[in-house]
Structure 1
Amino acid sequence: MTTNPGAAPTAYTDGEKETLHASLDRHRDAVLWKLQGLDDEQVRRVMTPSGTNLLGLVKHLASVEYGWFCSAFGREVEPLWFDPSSGEDMSAGQGETTERIVEFYGRARTAADRTVTELALDDVGTTGSGRAVSLRWVLVHMIEETARHAGHMDIVRELIDGGTGDHRPG
């Protein structure tokens, strides 16, 4: 499996789990690429009436990686310094540096990847609302979630400096 931005699975015949994981990684990498080359003001710049900004979306994606891949499967979750249920995961506070949030996303990805590596697609966890959920469903859901927010980030990035695309050109 590759994790290069814009790369497909190592072969178009990889197994289901490897293909799903590679797809998630491709979108995760696009999320990080959307921050590259921007300064602190730009990654925090609110570009929509709802308050959407690049750094807030990364913080949100980190918290949902922990929630779906770790909490749901009874695995350790890093203590959060914010309340995602109140929407605090969608914005970056003054004391939250870009570095802190990007590193938080990296740790969430690593924890989530351990779950993906160690469990089978049919293994079942439990959501915060008590619903049973398979790792397969979580992978598909997180591909959707990450791709959706990477698309938001693409639009925000275009509004900031004209940069577009799902991976670095060339």
Structure 2
Amino acid sequence: MGTGVPPSGGEKESLHASLDRHRDVIVWKLQGLGEEQVRRPMTPSGTSLLGIVKHLAAVEYGWFCSTFGREAEPLWFAPEDDFAIGERETTEQIVAFYGRARVAADKAISDLPLDEPGTSWAGRRVTLRWVLIHMIEDTVRHAGHMDILRELIDGATGDHPR
């Protein structure tokens, strides 16, 4: 688990540390659960713990790579199916996909200045700073969803390991 946001770090370092801290929580929420538990749809819309991880991997590639014209791993699923877990998809496969997305995103964060302009999938002009803030918000939002789903599965709660 990351050490958190440095109390006197620079803007980019602080934003990146915040994102990393919550990315670690996403993976931590799967620990100790079996394949059926992480795949189990827990809401009427079909949301599962593993589906959230798959979604976050896809959007990390989209926002940090595609937005800035960087290479992204080709998706084997339609973008609108990013929360769905196929019969042959495993926890190991999805967690590894998320890990590769994080590495690609981290490279973009490292290589580009905060004011670097990019174009989103919807054609909107954004900066790396905006993307970092957006991905922190999205990751934290989904970590909260995962906290609730995990509590429903086995009663475990918490936003970070103690």
Q: Tell me the TM-score normalized by structure 1.
A: 0.93
Which one of the candidate residues 113, 116, 122 is aligned to 2:109?
116
- Alpha-carbon displacement from aligned partner over 1:44-102 (angstroms, at most 9, x marks no partner): 11111111100000000000000000000000010110011x2x100211110110000
Residue 167 of structure 1: how far off its partner (Å): 1.2
Q: 2:8 aligns with which of 13, 16, 31?
A: 13
SS at match of 1:20: helix
Q: What pairs with 1:124-163 in structure 2 (closer than 5 Å)?
A: 124-163=117-156
> In structure 2, how many angstroms separate the alpha carbons of the residues matched to 1:91 and 1:35?
16
Identity %: 68
Q: Gapped runs of 5+ residues in structure 2? A: none
Task: Work out the CA distance in 2 between the residues paired with 1:48 and 1:129.
Answer: 28
How far apart are residue 119 of structure 1 and its match?
A: 0.4
1:153 counterpart SS class: helix
User: What letter matches 1:145 in structure 2?
Assistant: D
TM-score, with length taken from structure 2? 0.98
The aligned length equals: 162
Residue 72 of structure 2 is matched in structure 1 by 77
| CA distance in structure 2 between the aligned counterparts of 1:59 and 1:43, rounded to whole angstroms | 12
Paired AA for residue 106 in structure 1:
G
Q: 2:58 maps to what in 1?
A: 63
Q: Which runs of at least 4 in structure 1 moved beyond 2 Å after TM superposition?
A: none
CA shift for structure 1 position 168: 1.4
Q: Which residue of 2 aligns with 1:89?
A: 82
Aligned to 1:33: 28
**Partner SS, residue 90 of structure 1:** coil
Q: Which residue of 2 aligns with 1:44?
A: 39
Equivalent AA in structure 2 for residue 149 of structure 1: H
What are the ranges of 5 or more consecutive residues in structure 1 without an aligned counterpart? none
Q: C-alpha distance in 2, partners of 1:34/1:91?
A: 18
Post-superposition offset of 1:129 = 1.8
Q: Which amino acid aligns with 2:160?
A: H
Q: Tell me the residue number matched to 1:168.
A: 161
**CA-atom RMSD, angstroms?**
0.8
